[in-house]
Amino acid sequence: MTNNDVLKKLRVALMLRDDEIVEILKLVDFKISKAELGALFRKEDHPNYMECGDQILRNFLNGLVIHFRGEKDNPKNPKETLAHLKKNIVTKPKKKYETNFKEKQEKKLDKHIVHGNYKNKKKS
């Protein structure tokens, strides 16, 4: 797994937009443009693809720590920071199943079929 893959997966898991990633990198004094960031998220065969170096990933991870926990002088509660992520998650409504589903399936069965003996079945 490459650094680009790790960065992409973190971006999806934390639901981060490009501008938020730029802000997170600014927390550790690492400046990157949205265009450069977009090049990191491209497919490897794209002409504008750029490999994510160790320095970019390291600074992003350090920025994430500051983003969620805060600095030593001004600590944050990570639960509050993560709570806003949970609010943004859209949940799908649960499917409602029919209560008489089993009865409907049993009606569809042909009860006149005789099940025969299988040739390869071991006798116990």
At 69 the pLDDT is 86
DSSP state of 70: B
Taking 3-state DSSP, the helix, strand and coil percentages for the chain, each rounded to the nearest 5, stand at: 50, 0, 50
pLDDT at 80: 75
pLDDT confidence of residue 30: 92
Give the pLDDT confidence score for residue 10 in this predicted structure: 93
What is the rounded distance in angstroms from the CA atom of residue 59 to the CA atom of residue 24?
9
pLDDT for 116 equals 66
Query: From CA 118, how far away is CA 115, in angstroms rounded?
Result: 9
Q: How many CA atoms lie within 13 A of 67 on its CB side?
A: 21
Where in the chain are the domains? 3-88
The stretches in the chain having pLDDT less than 70 are 84-92, 97-98, 110-111, 113-119, 121-124
CA distance 8 to 5: 5
Per-residue pLDDT at 108: 74
Q: Which two tokens stand for residue 124?
A: 């116990």
